[in-house]
Structure formats: structure tokens, C-alpha cells
Structure 1
């Protein structure tokens, strides 16, 4: 019996040892710490060797500079505590044409980035090098003299294309010159407990999921100069499907969680649970289809938005030039609490959201906005509480109740909460929609706002149940224009309901 027990222990130990991935320390392949050595070849050689049978590429404590490296199937890039993988600051190291990503994988499977170390793209320094190359004519760029160097010329930090069974876990990722993480055409992606700190330059989306399926993003902390977590459908026909996002904290100089702007394909079965968005310039939640694609089946539950420019923005537009129109339907947003200040929420961050191009506008409401003949369909807002800073002034802008038709449609405009300029409501504006339900929605402001609280314009089948509006400076708190099939139950308004609700033809 003792022999059998010892044999079992030995066998179990052997299985555990053999189950550990074979380690390939980059130092053993010639990598050298410090800011002077460029270790691209050494690290890529280690990856190529590990790729033959699988294994772990170990980056030990210290700073290691590299240019673009390409991961292979079965390879884990593991950064030990105290390890920092630094991107080269020489733009030419990323290629003479389109900038290659610092870390990429193409058509690979079972690839992992893991560990307690840091990936630092040094994006500000890369752009400085790029600008010098543009000035002396070594590189070309169509936009750099009028706006900034294009994304074509600025390397992303992580870019996986057409890959399967991908994991990014635990690492800190910072200071990209472009998108921080880009997963395009991928299947089975897990991003867990990742920290993003990337506010060094523009277009620094924290996580971009493009035409990918079966994606799980959880426990991440993101501070980005552009959208925090963004789903896109662009670059090729495709859809984002079966996406689950949970327990993430996001700060952004654009939007917190966003679907769009790129929306040529579609988005289906998207679930978001328990996220916090703070100090964010645009919307906490932005759902936008404007390029002929669709949004169908979005379930968001549990959002805390602190000091954001807008709580909810849902948009169906027509930016594409063809005859195909987008569709947006079957959306549920529940258990959201938002604080919308009468101030610029991202003021003081290295890269701030842009100031309005047009005249200053009053604080903007949550909005659900389709276009004539193309309604947003079946939206439920449930257990929502939004508090606005208020303080609107007619001297800044004023759209009277009898002038609602003057609100611009801006069908082809870039979708964002400020795209209409001034809006005539302070709490919620719904335009060109059907099947809209507000269940236990509470709207409030800190300082008086002269506008109506809620406006429905060209909206059909409306259910208002448990709507609560604490304060009102306008006698008509709710405006119903060109509406039908309206159900109102158990609402709480500061003045008599008959006076507070105005119906217009």
C-alpha cells in the first residue's frame, strides 16, 4: 500500500511539473536591460523557438526596449513583477509604411499576455520622432499639418487579428501612440484584471473589440485619452457578438462604454454588468449605429457614472453614403446612477475632449435619437437616476416648445452627445423612436433649468411608469409631440399632472 501511495505521489508530481509551460527567458536569447539596447531580434527569436512546441516567454525584472514583436500560437508572453517592456521611441523601427503594433499576432491561437509587469509604448516620444520624420520628408501623412498624424502612422500597443483563444491578464499597459488594445476578427477573447493608463496622445482607446465574438472583459481599470471600452464593426464585413463586460472602472476623454462609431456590420448579444465611469468628457454609455449596420440586443445593468458629460446617448444615424440604413433595437439599460456636472468633466487631464466647435450650449440631456423614417425601437430604461448640475441660460441658447422642429437632424454627423448643439429638454430627449419604456426613472437638477424635463418628439408606444421629476422651472414638464399609444402610471411630478404634461400635434 505504501508503495502504491508513493507511486501515486510521484506520478502526480510529474504531471504537475510537466503541465508547467517551458520557460524561455529573453536574457538567454541576448536581451539586455537598459534604455540603450534594442532587443527586438532577441525577443522575437525567443518567441520563434517557443512557437515550435509552445511555452512561456519570460521578461525578467528590468527595463527592456523592443520594436514590434509578433506572438505565435501556444506562446505566453509573461512579464514578471518589476519587468517593463518599453516600445522603441524611433518611429522607423515600426516600419517604413503603416506603423506595426508593438505586440501583434495574426491568425494565431492560444496566445496569452500575462504577468505583473508593464508594457509601456512611450507614445509621446514615438510621436515626437514621427513628427521629425514628417518634417524632413522621410514619412508622409495626409492629416498631420491640419490635425495630427493619422493612426496609419502611429503604432498601437497590442493588435491581434483573426486569432482564437486569446488571453490578456493582470498586466499594466500604458502610453500608446494610438489604440492601446485592438482585437479584430477574433474569437474567444478573455481580458481580465488589466490596467490601462494611456493619456499621452489622441486615439488612445483602452480596449477596442472589432468584428469579434465570444469576448469576456472583466475586472479592468482603464484611464484612456479616448473611448474606454469600444466595440466596432469596420474594416471588413463582420459583427461583434456574445460580448460580456463586467466589474470595470473607466475614465475617458471620450466615452466610457461605447458601441460604434464604426458600424458597418453589427452588434448582437452584448451584456454589461457593474461598471463605474468617472471624470469622462462624453457619455458614460454611448450606443451608436450610423454606417448601415445594426445594434440588436444590448443589456446593460449596473452603472455608476460620476462627473461625466452625459449619461446615456443612443443614436441611429446615416453617415454612410449608400442606401443601406442602420437599425437600433432591443436595448435595456437598468440600475444606472449618474451625476452630470455643469462643468467640463475631464478638465486637467493630459488630453482633454474638444471644446464645442459651435456656440456654447447648455447642459445636454440623455438622448435617444433616430432619424426621420428610421426609428430606434424597443428601449427600456429601468431604475435610472440622473442628477444634472442645471443652471441653463436662455442667453446661451433657447429652443421654445413651439419650435421643436428647429432641432437639427444632423443625419450624417459624427455621433456624439453634443452633435445637435442645443437640445430643448434638460433631462431626457427622445426623437424618432417607438417602444420606449421608462420604469422608475428619476431626474433631478441642482440649479434651476428653464427647459422642460422630458420631450418625446415623433415617438410611438410610450410607457411611463414610476417616472419621478423632483423640480421644474417650466410649467410643461413633459412634452408629447407627434406621439401615440402613451401609457402613464404612478408618476411623480412637482405640479399637477394635467398642467405638467403638454401634448402637441
Structure 2
């Protein structure tokens, strides 16, 4: 494979000079010659604005090399419709592209911070630069790279097909909102494995907001995830289907929400499997969406929007959970959530953080009162090991609810309202005080 060293094209590793032009020249020359490797050599920091990968290119960052992203929008290019955002490493309708090596991509997120406070959140400039944005690409490989301190999403895969992501380490500021790890958006045939991802926003997110395509055939294995939002998020945005997804052999810790499925728009979310997962969650400041739910399944429309989608055929098996809130299943109305099964799932509720609990989070709330903001939608409520509202055909087989350090607002093992077809097979669990509360209440 021919190798094009960016230093041969005039790149310098002083951490200040914008190297976008020499890096792009190396990429273009390599592409014109039929493809090969564009080498970012070890030994320094290469400051850069926007670069665009082309077909048959391997952008290889050697161990000891850092690609530092600019925070100056005059040094970036706005990606095409429908994305309309600035990004540093981009590709458009490219085939057989790779980003590899043991080097580091530094998103320079700290340059976008305006202020921070003691409540575990930093205020940022509204306009920020994405790190990696690939649109309508096929046969993409991302391997062994370290990505750190991104200002917004680290990796955005929009309308892509045949993606392999393995061995990545994404280390973002967990106090910074919207700095998601990997966003699979309207993309199919995606394999993610053996990654460590630590983020303020969702670590791995599947959605359908970009080019109008579904997200399907996604496998995620062997990852460790940390998030101040949701470690795993399926849904939240998009009008197309998300289907045929497997999450297996994953560890989630030090997170707000563990596993989340959140339908807010049209489309189906179906055939989703979670297996062999350890989940550990805790409460954070209310600025962050989520109340330490170990598993969260919700169908709640965006404000002033109609919800015509459905969550169905979801399976959870062999999952060990510890959190300050348990399993939360919430349908805004009947017919939105159906056929959800839990097999060999154990939940332990225990108070571990300094943040107050005893509330549920329904943000984004569909009908906020006049004058209220996005923060509206958190309501005081007692906490049970499992809470279900407006759902159909929910099965718990060989499952258990346990209690650790119990706050005064905890109540039942299972609390169910307007649930059609709740089945309990060999379910084990009691209320926090059997003298006051039954283990299961249902109406």
C-alpha cells in the first residue's frame, strides 16, 4: 500500500499551524493515484481545520501523533444538506475509507466552554464543531484510534452502510453536554466492538435524523460505557425505523441512565436485544436528563408533536443492574409500547449519590405550561423496582428486585398502571416494607 506522509506535503507538528491544506493535498494525491495510506507521523501535535477523506484512503495516526481540531469556524467547512454543521474529519459518498492507528484525535472541546458550575455541567457556545462526520459512505473502518475532548459528537455516521468500529477509546468531558460518542444515524450493517467510551451525552446512540434512511442491522459487543446521560440510547430523534439491533457483553458504570429506548417521533423501534450486560447508575444534577434508571423504555412525543410510532419486540436477558432508580417503562398513551420481555434480569435499588431522588423524568415533556423551558418534565414520585404505565404484553421471567440502602421514597417491587398483559414467571421481590406495601400493585 503506498504511503503519503503529511510532512512531505508541508505539515508541521507545532500545535499551532493549520495543517488542513497539506493534509488535504496528501489525501487528494493518494486518492488520485488509486488509494493508499495517508500517514500522520508520531512526534507532535498537528493542528487542523476541515479535511475530507476520499475513497480508498486509510488515514493512519501513528502512536504519539495528535490531530488537534480548530475552534475557529473560519477554518472549517459546513457539511452539505441535510447536516448543515461544521466538522473536522469528513467524507461524502466515499467508499473503502479507514481511520486507524494508535494516535489521538483531540476535538478541542475545552475551547468551546463558556463557564462551568458546581452542578456537574459546563455551559458551552451554541455553535460547536463536530469531530468526525461521514455522510453516505460505505465500507468504513474506524480502528484503534483515541478520540478525546470533542466539542459535540465524536463520530456521526449519517446514511452509511457496512461500518466496522473496533478498539476505539473515546474520552470526553463528562460535564459537557451534547458530546455523544458514536451516533449511528440512518445507517445499516454496523459492527461496534471492544471500545471504551466516556461521555457527557449518550455514549452510543442509534437514531434516524439525517438522510431519511432507517437504522438497521447493528451489533455492539464488548464495550465499556460511561455517560452522564444514557450509556446506550436507541431513538429519541427521527422519523424512520430502527430495527434488528443487538447489544451484548457490555459494562455500563458511573452513568445516569443505563439502557434507554426513547420514542419521540414516527417510525418503529423493533427487534432490539440486550444481553449479558452489567449496569451501574447513579443520580446527577437535574440539568441532565435522566433519574438513574437502569433500564428506561419510553414513548413520549416531542412538545407540540404527534407520536405515531411504536416500540415492540424488545428483549432484555442476563442483565445485572444496580441503580438509584430501577426499570422504568412509560407510554404517553396506549398502543405505543408492546411485547417487551425481561429474562434473568436482577435489579438492586440503593442510594449512592448526594443528589435527591424520588422523582421521574419525562423530558422532553409534550405539554409544558406557558413560559416553561426544556427543563420542565421532572415530577416527584415514589420509586419502585419496576414502574410501568400504558404498555401491553410485558413479561418478567426469572427476574428479581432487591433493596440496598433504601431512601424513604421507595415502595414496591413492581408498580403497574394501565398495563394489558403483565406476566410474572418466577419473579422474586418484595416491597421496602411488607407491613405497609404489597410487593406488586397493579390497576
Q: Same fold (TM over 0.5)?
A: yes
Q: TM-score, normalised by structure 2?
A: 0.86
Verify: 1:454 aligned to 2:407, yes or no: no
Answering whether residue 291 of structure 2 is matched by residue 316 of structure 1, we say: no
The equivalent of 1:441 in structure 2 is: 399
More helix by share: 1
Distance (whole Å) between structure 1 residues aligned to residue 109 and residue 396 of structure 2: 44
Is contact 1:424-1:452 (8 Å) kept? no
Consecutive unaligned residues in structure 2, runs of 5 or more: 116-122, 283-291, 369-373
1:429 lines up with 2:412 in the alignment: no
Please say if residues 204 and 224 of structure 1, whose CA atoms lie closer than 8 Å, have aligned partners that are also in contact. Answer: yes
Q: Is 1:149 matched with 2:89? A: no
Q: Note if contact 1:318-1:412 (Cα within 8 Å) is conserved in structure 2.
A: no
Cα separation, partners in 2 of 1:126 and 1:425, compared to 1, 3 Å:
closer
Larger Rg: 1
Q: Distance in 1 between matches of 2:358 and 2:57?
A: 58
1:152-187 C-alpha deviation (Å, 9 max, x unpaired): x21111000011011100000011111111000000
Say if 1:288 and 1:29 are closer, same or farther in 2 by CA, change over 3 A: same
Per residue, is there more strand in 1 or in 2?
2
Residues 40 and 62, structure 2, Cα contact 8 Å, conserved in 1: yes
> Which residue among 10, 30, 44 is the counterpart of 1:50?
30
Query: What CA deviation, in whole Å up to 9, does each residue of 1:173-220 have, x standing for no partner?
Result: 011111111000000011100000111732100100000000000000
1:459 deviation in Å?
A: 0.9
Superposition deviation, residue 81 in structure 1? 1.3
Determine if contact 1:90/1:126 at 8 Å carries over to the other structure.
no
Deviation of 1:420 (Å): 5.1
CA distance in structure 2 between the aligned counterparts of 1:313 and 1:398, rounded to whole angstroms: 14
State the TM-score, normalizing by the size of structure 1: 0.76
1:76 Cα offset (Å): 0.5
Q: Secondary structure at 1:48's aligned position in 2?
A: helix
Give the Cα–Cα distance (whole angstroms) in 2 for the partners of residues 237 and 88 of structure 1.
30
Per the alignment, in what secondary structure is the counterpart of residue 265 of structure 1?
coil
Segment drifting more, 247-256 vs 371-380: 371-380
Shift in alpha-carbon separation, 1:68–1:127, aligned structure 2, 3 A: farther
Give the match's secondary structure for 1:291.
Answer: coil
The structural deviation recorded for 1:124 is 1.3
The answer to whether the aligner puts 1:77 opposite 2:39 as a matched pair is no
**Matching of residues 288-307 of structure 1 within 5 Å:** 288-307=262-281
Sort the Cα spacing of 1:167 and 1:409 in 2 relative to 1 into closer, same or farther, 3 A.
Answer: closer
| SS of residue matched to 2:12 | coil
Query: Deviations along 1:83-142, whole A, 9 cap, x unmatched?
Result: 1111124332124896521100011110000001111121212556xx9xxxxxxxxxxx
1:373 aligns with 2:334: yes
Identify which of 230, 233, 239 aligns with 2:208. Answer: 233
Gaps of 5+ in 1: 1-20, 132-146, 342-363, 400-406, 482-505
Q: For 1:363-406, what per-residue CA distance to the aligned partner results, in whole angstroms no more than 9, with x for missing partners?
A: x4311111223341100011111111159xxx98699xxxxxxx
- 8 Å Cα contact 2:159/2:210 also seen in 1: no
Return closer, same or farther for 1:274/1:318 CA change in 2, 3 Å cut-off: same
Counterpart CA distance in 2 for 1:322 and 1:156 is: 28
Partner of 1:182: 156
Give the match for residue 310 of structure 2: 327
Structure 2 distance, partners of 1:421, 1:320, is: 17
What's the offset of the Cα at 1:425?
3.9
CA-atom RMSD in angstroms: 2.8
Contact 2:281 2:294 in 1 (8 A): no
Question: Does the CA contact (< 8 Å) of 1:263 and 1:294 recur in 2?
Answer: no
Q: For the residues of structure 2 that align with 1:310 and 1:388, how far apart are their CA atoms? A: 10
Shift of 1:447: 3.1
How far off is 1:475 after superposition? 2.8
The aligned residue for residue 86 of structure 1 is 68
Inter-partner Cα distance in structure 2 for 1:297 and 1:269: 5
Q: Is the 8 A contact 1:124 1:201 kept in 2?
A: no
Secondary structure of the residue aligned to 1:110 is strand
User: What does residue range 197-236 of structure 1 map to in structure 2 within 5 Å?
Assistant: 197-199=171-173, 201-236=176-211
Q: Map 1:278-289; keep pairs closer than 5 Å.
A: 278-281=253-256, 283-289=257-263
> Partner of 1:28 in structure 2?
8
